[in-house]
Amino acid sequence: MRSFFCLFSCLMFLSVTSSDATNWPVGPGQAYIKPSQVANLVANGDTVTIAAGEYLEDVAFWKADGLLLRGEGGFAHLNANGKAAGQKAIWVIQGDDITVEQIEFSHCTVPDKNGAGIRQEGVDLTVRKCWFHHNENGILAGNNTTSTILVEHSEFGFNGYGDGFSHNIYVNHVARFIFRYNYSHDSQIGHLVKSRAHENHILYNRLDSQAGSGVSYEIDLPNGGLSFVIGNQVVQPVDGQNSGMMSYGLEGLSNPGPHECYAINNTMVNAKSVGRFFNLNASTALFKGWNNLLVGGGNFANGPVQVMDTVRNLRVPDPADAGFVDLAGMDLHIAEESPAVDQGLDPEYAGTVNLWPTDEYVHPVDRVDRPEHGLLDAGAFEGPLINLMPPQSPPPHIQLWRMHGSVGARGIEQDDLLEIWSLSGVLLGRGQIAALRLPDIPVMISVYRGGRLLRSQVLL
């Protein structure tokens, strides 16, 4: 009986693996020279390998599940030249669990003005190392509240019909949207990233455009939900179509809650003299904005929400004072003299999600581990190591309290530096304890010794 079971298991294994291992090579000199020729032949779990080169006016529906569709030897360029499958997209993906790698999608147009590189209609999609340009939408994903969409290491540029309703990437109501290590730029009167997903993770991307592109919002999350915007480089040109850079919930908080937005360690540069870094629905349950480097004109936000938790957001009105390595060349790493150095605090957790910035964007469309150079810096990039003091344990005996308009303290030394911050992230005072006076509002006090943060405490 045991021998029969082993034989049966082996036969089943061989049957499953052989049926799951079909690879379909596509390109010049192959049996199939265009991707569309195998679209109705592939079975669940197959791989389609498309040789690098241009495939003109070749569009397709993909209906099988578990497919891997990838370019080989460089980008497989699907130049639609105004064509579209089903008047929707270059590729209409209706199967589940599809992965698309190293494909270039361009020049898709349709009569209703929303022709896409990819139209996602199935459940779960991964897009990796792809390039979407000069379509009416880069990716357009429909409603499917069980679906997760992951887009990484990809570039989006020059997409949009020009009517404000089409974008570099437009994700409708899905369960989760993860957008990381991407470069999105120069959308045509549209947004660089627009998502109605119930949960959003916008992580370590470069989002910027040149003057004249007509870009609107850099990030638009119009229906709220749980959203994490961490470690992004975001730049608004002087002639951007919208005065805001990031929008949350402005079309109504219709997603399932919690309606919480976490904006942590982003570098945001507004070339305009007016505008807002964050446009927020006033009914947002929580906006936590920590350690953002906010450069240029405009206001921090349009107004308070139910809980406004903003700490160590560094405002630098003049970009020349931000200490960027090369602002003109869009290298927003910070130099040793930048005021952002050592200005961050540990953003801790949102439930079980660690908000500490672990990565940095590397241009183009790559990543690197964020270094740890002493104290956390404000913004998307860690500056050079300038604090060479060996790590020490904070003195456990420091205590702070209010005392007749001054700071009462125990464990403070004469040369310790104290900073007083409003809870909205504005620096109100800096100096030795004897010279500081407390305003009649809740504040956060930070104590430094030899350039090292010893303690931060909120005084109500």
Q: Report pLDDT for 334.
A: 98
CATH 3.40.50.720 fits 20-369, yes or no: no
Q: Report pLDDT for 457.
A: 75
- Which of left, alpha, beta for 125 (phi over 0: left; psi -120 to 50: alpha)? beta
> What whole-number distance in Å separates Cα of residue 222 and Cα of residue 306?
18
Give 108's Cβ-side CA count (13 Å radius).
36
65 CB neighbour count, 10 Å cutoff: 17
- pLDDT for residue 8 is more than 70: no
Beta strands in 153-265 (DSSP E): 155-157, 169-171, 174-180, 183-185, 193-195, 199-203, 206-207, 219-221, 226-230, 233-236, 244-248, 260-264
Task: Convert the pLDDT of each residue in 380-413 to its tens digit.
Answer: 999 998 655 444 444 446 778 888 788 888 888 8
> What whole-number distance in Å separates Cα of residue 95 and Cα of residue 125?
9
Q: Report pLDDT for 135.
A: 98
Q: Report pLDDT for 416.
A: 86
Max intra-chain CA distance, the chain: 88
Q: Report pLDDT for 395.
A: 46
285 CB neighbour count, 10 Å cutoff: 16
Domain range list for the chain: 20-369, 399-459
> Higher-confidence residue: 460 or 95?
95
Q: Is 121 helix (H, G, I), strand (E, B) or coil?
A: coil
Mean pLDDT of the chain: 91
- Percent of the chain at pLDDT exceeding 90: 76
Q: How confident is the model at residue 17 (pLDDT cuts 50, 70, 90)?
A: very low
- pLDDT for residue 327 is more than 90: yes
277 CB contacts (<8 Å, ≥6 apart)?
Answer: 244, 245, 246, 268, 270, 292, 294, 298, 299, 300, 301
> What whole-number distance in Å separates Cα of residue 315 and Cα of residue 227?
23
- pLDDT for residue 10 is more than 50: no
Average pLDDT over residues 71-99: 98
